[in-house]
Structure 1
Amino acid sequence: MSHNKQNSIFTPILVGGSLILLIGFAIRSTFGLFQIPIAEQFLWARSEFSLAIAIQNLAWGIGTPIFSAFAEKFGDRKTIVIGILLYAIGLLISSSASSPEAHQFLNVIIGFGIAGTGFGPILAVVGRAASPDKRSLALGITTAAGSAGQVVGPPFAAALLNIMPWSSVFVVFAIISLLTIILVPLLKSNPKISKNDVRENLSDALMQAIKDPSYAMLFLGFFSCGFQLAFITAHFPALIAEASSPIVKNSLISLVCNSTASLGALSIAVIGLFNIIGSISAGALGKNFSKKYLLSLIYLWRTIAAILFIMLPITPLSVIIFSVVMGTLWLATVPLTSGIIAHIYGLQYMGTLYGIVFFSHQLGSFVGVWLGGLFYDIYGNYNIVWWVGIGVGAFSAIIHLPVKEIPLVNRMHPRFT
């Protein structure tokens, strides 16, 4: 019995980390639903709150390597507690913010809160605690927990917005975020770090990675992932509300939503639901197949799906089909990207090295969200930004192909391989 528990993949660390990600991502995935109510209340241009969300994504990206390095030096649990507190404080104060500048500043705090409770610190602690044969799947399951948050977050926020103003919803989210602090004690681990993973210090690990062209390719390739995901999270509900054909009465879709506005929230939830399947599947496939080729395929399929969606008439059915396909591919890149970084560069500084690559993801997020709002205000639609997303997706499909998926220590000392 004890042996089975010891070898179970569902350890307290995985469960605790997964729940923190689930709740944090449930809240984060709802910000697109506040675009219209906040803009209408304050008579803002769409780009104002879009910029706040874009800044949040950029702060998340900047904060991830910082929080990851802090965790590696001072401890995972201390770092995650700081992230939880920043997240809750940012949400609470945002509930009373009434100017674009206030929302944009507070989303810096929220972004740092997400960084402290997000993929960087959580995947690092889960990855270090997992055995090599279970690591890829453990990362996939933990990533899928974030996807599960995306399933429950938008419908929950939409339901709250039907009974209370957006400002009260922010207060509710601040309280929920703060409650995740009770999960932190579960994240105590004895990292399974091998001799090959040990570096003299962080600067050595960083210099070795920065000099490696494969690291630069992973950095550049992750940009499009952030661009596409953040644009869809922030703008897809509004795009659907305005561009989709009406929902036909007595149709199957009409059983779960009665307007294109509610269809937007449903689409984000569907993406999150199928992302659970995609993330776990990617983690499992990453154990037996080349991670770089899986990443290239994911970006290729995303590109094809985006082209078909924008070229064909936008209907409730096409929205659901696109959401299913995109959801399956959504965060499937995360366990593969974090896994390939752990495989090539080792576990000791995995959090920081992944965090730097994740900054590229969030830089893409910033550009995608901000350009979406800016171009909407200029042209009255999202067509140009959508095609930009297609272009960067195709770029990522290509740039992962030359990555050398061999541990760096083996390449530096080939006689020991």
Structure 2
Amino acid sequence: MTATPAPAVRPATVSASLPGWRTPGVIVLAGCLIAMISFGPRSAMGFFTNEMSVDRGWALAVFSLSAAIQNILWGIGQPFAGALADRFGVTRVLVVGAVLYAAGLIWMANAADPFSLHMSAGVLIGFGLAGCSFNLVLAAFGKLLPLSWRPMALGAGSAAGSFGQFLFAPLTVFLKGAIGWEATLMLFGAAMLIVLPLSVVLMTPRAEAPADAPSAAETQTLKAALAEALGHRSYNLLVAGFFVCGFHLAFITIHLPKYLVDHGISNAVGGWVMALIGLFNLAGSLLAGYWSGKVSKPYLLSAIYLARAVLIVGFVLLPLTPLTALAFGAGIGLLWLSTVPPTSGLVLVMFGPRWMAMLFGVVFLSHQVGSFLGVWLAGLLYDSTGSYDVVWWLGVALGLFAALVHLPIQEQPVARATPAST
């Protein structure tokens, strides 16, 4: 089935005004570097669980709660960050987000009590991620790039985040052994400041209605855009399905390293398992970006979630060895952020680029509610039962749910008979 083309809105009102050096290739490169740098430390959080818990004398639930706070605030902050980026430009939001993220990592390294951990790893990093993660990069791509560049650029932006995971997973294991976990976190905090100069490349203009016969999408207010989306059945189904993605990713990111150690798999192997997730997501995200421009995006999403459920069943039932752990990392990596290109692409198809950052931010909020529950419930159930088994099977059930919920989504632009009121 051929995918429905995006609505005929006019991205040229933004892209035509770009300086000559900001070519599509330069924009994609800068956005991918931002996605890689911002996603890397967050993806490596699971490697600090044991050290922080042991050194500080905390239960696993303390670190899990901080990670859960981080995920939910990332989600809550995303629609607001997206709305600000849509209204005032992406660069300002990226700069503030990167500074908050860096401060959170440095404070986390020096957190001496649970409150400090919750405020640093939870609050500051959570809001920092809302302001400088790949979500805003994808929205900038939708605003700045020609239509022909968008499918692959959305896939590349998603893949770049996991390339950060590929780099940071073994790097974290190495640095912890060489300089200690506290210094590793502080080094990561300093690295986040690289986002500041890169964000200039993604500069988008302040939102202003064009003077020459604006379309309904171009004159639509934020309130009207949000009301339109929340009243759209396909958008609400997309929101529900992305909840499951968040549950899977956050649970695996934070708790898989410990799950492997509990079953006799070394930290070194665990580091390569997480690295393989990032490496194989390069291929998975790029393929998803390519195929989302060729086939039905809802059907593609349904297939991805069904494949996740089947893979988790095999991982739980087969004997756990280094080989099966590495195979799981490769398999889940192919499916990791492959949901993002078709999901963000559906938002773009349905509503156009005008309020994409905000509308995708709402979808991402659902993702982060799932992330909160995936991290927090896993820690809670582990402390009470000594096992992650219930969470794995819950992940299977949610994967089947997501596979079904995407099937009725209509991949077509919303009908706008007249321009929205200003």
1:384 CA drift (Å)? 0.4
Q: Work out whether 1:118 is the aligned partner of 2:128.
A: no
**Following the alignment from structure 1 to structure 2, what is the Cα–Cα distance between the partners of residues 191 and 92?**
32
SS in 1 for 2:320: coil
1:60 CA drift (Å)? 0.7
Partner residue, 1:179: 194
1:10 CA drift (Å)? 5.0
Deviating runs (4+, > 6 A) in structure 1? Answer: 190-194
Q: Work out whether 1:312 is the aligned partner of 2:327.
A: no
Unmatched runs of 5 consecutive residues or more in structure 2: 1-18
**Where do residues 84-233 of structure 1 align in structure 2 (5 Å cutoff)?**
84-106=98-120, 107-189=122-204, 195=215, 197-233=217-253
Partner residue, 1:347: 353
In the alignment, is the contact (CA less than 8 A) between 1:243 and 1:314 conserved in 2? Answer: yes
Q: Work out whether 1:366 is the aligned partner of 2:384.
A: no
Partner residue, 1:83: 97
**Following the alignment from structure 1 to structure 2, what is the Cα–Cα distance between the partners of residues 130 and 195?**
19
SS in 1 for 2:292: helix
Write out per-residue CA displacement over residues 174-218 of structure 1, whole angstroms, 9 at most, x where no aligned residue. 110112212122113579999464242111111111111111101
**Following the alignment from structure 2 to structure 1, what is the Cα–Cα distance between the partners of residues 284 and 402?**
18
**Where do residues 285-296 of structure 1 align in structure 2 (5 Å cutoff)?**
285-296=291-302
**Following the alignment from structure 2 to structure 1, what is the Cα–Cα distance between the partners of residues 100 and 110?**
16
Q: Work out whether 1:27 is the aligned partner of 2:33.
A: no
In the alignment, is the contact (CA less than 8 A) between 1:9 and 1:134 conserved in 2? Answer: no
1:31 CA drift (Å)? 0.4
Write out per-residue CA displacement over residues 264-323 of structure 1, whole angstroms, 9 at most, x where no aligned residue. 111110000000000010000011111000000000000000011101111111111111
Instruction: Give TM-score, length-normalised by structure 1.
Output: 0.91
Q: Which amino acid aligns with 1:66?
A: F
1:409 CA drift (Å)? 2.1
Give the paired residue count: 394
**Following the alignment from structure 2 to structure 1, what is the Cα–Cα distance between the partners of residues 151 and 346?**
9
Partner residue, 2:328: 322
In the alignment, is the contact (CA less than 8 A) between 2:90 and 2:204 conserved in 1? Answer: no
SS in 2 for 1:44: coil
Correspondent of 1:387 among 387, 393, 399: 393
SS in 2 for 1:151: helix
Q: Work out whether 1:55 is the aligned partner of 2:54.
A: no
1:9 CA drift (Å)? 8.1
SS in 1 for 2:30: helix
- CA pair 195-154 structure 1, distance change in 2 beyond 3 A: same
Q: Which amino acid aligns with 1:124?
A: A
1:115 CA drift (Å)? 1.0
Partner residue, 2:9: none
**Following the alignment from structure 2 to structure 1, what is the Cα–Cα distance between the partners of residues 219 and 152?**
25
**Following the alignment from structure 1 to structure 2, what is the Cα–Cα distance between the partners of residues 207 and 82?**
28
**Following the alignment from structure 1 to structure 2, what is the Cα–Cα distance between the partners of residues 306 and 199?**
46
Partner residue, 1:37: 51
In the alignment, is the contact (CA less than 8 A) between 1:18 and 1:146 conserved in 2? Answer: yes
Higher helix content, 1 or 2: 1
1:324 CA drift (Å)? 0.9
- CA pair 224-188 structure 1, distance change in 2 beyond 3 A: same
In the alignment, is the contact (CA less than 8 A) between 2:273 and 2:329 conserved in 1? Answer: yes
Q: Work out whether 1:234 is the aligned partner of 2:248.
A: no
**Following the alignment from structure 2 to structure 1, what is the Cα–Cα distance between the partners of residues 233 and 215?**
24
In the alignment, is the contact (CA less than 8 A) between 1:133 and 1:287 conserved in 2? Answer: no
**Following the alignment from structure 1 to structure 2, what is the Cα–Cα distance between the partners of residues 29 and 302?**
19
**Following the alignment from structure 1 to structure 2, what is the Cα–Cα distance between the partners of residues 136 and 338?**
10
Q: Which amino acid aligns with 2:401?
A: F
**Following the alignment from structure 1 to structure 2, what is the Cα–Cα distance between the partners of residues 12 and 115?**
23
In the alignment, is the contact (CA less than 8 A) between 1:196 and 1:346 conserved in 2? Answer: no
In the alignment, is the contact (CA less than 8 A) between 2:24 and 2:145 conserved in 1? Answer: no
Correspondent of 2:405 among 399, 408, 412: 399
Q: Percent identity?
A: 40
Partner residue, 1:376: 382
Unmatched runs of 5 consecutive residues or more in structure 1: 247-259
Partner residue, 1:267: 273
- CA pair 176-352 structure 1, distance change in 2 beyond 3 A: same
**Following the alignment from structure 2 to structure 1, what is the Cα–Cα distance between the partners of residues 99 and 378?**
30
**Following the alignment from structure 1 to structure 2, what is the Cα–Cα distance between the partners of residues 66 and 242?**
39
In the alignment, is the contact (CA less than 8 A) between 1:237 and 1:263 conserved in 2? Answer: no
SS in 2 for 1:198: helix
In the alignment, is the contact (CA less than 8 A) between 1:152 and 1:269 conserved in 2? Answer: yes
In the alignment, is the contact (CA less than 8 A) between 1:57 and 1:363 conserved in 2? Answer: yes
- CA pair 69-191 structure 1, distance change in 2 beyond 3 A: closer
- Superposition RMSD on alpha carbons, in Å? 2.0
1:133 CA drift (Å)? 2.3
**Following the alignment from structure 1 to structure 2, what is the Cα–Cα distance between the partners of residues 188 and 121?**
11
SS in 2 for 1:409: coil
**Following the alignment from structure 1 to structure 2, what is the Cα–Cα distance between the partners of residues 320 and 93?**
33
In the alignment, is the contact (CA less than 8 A) between 2:89 and 2:205 conserved in 1? Answer: no
Partner residue, 1:243: 263
**Following the alignment from structure 1 to structure 2, what is the Cα–Cα distance between the partners of residues 98 and 91?**
14
Instruction: Give TM-score, length-normalised by structure 2.
Output: 0.90
Write out per-residue CA displacement over residues 137-180 of structure 1, whole angstroms, 9 at most, x where no aligned residue. 11101111101001001111111100122211111111101122
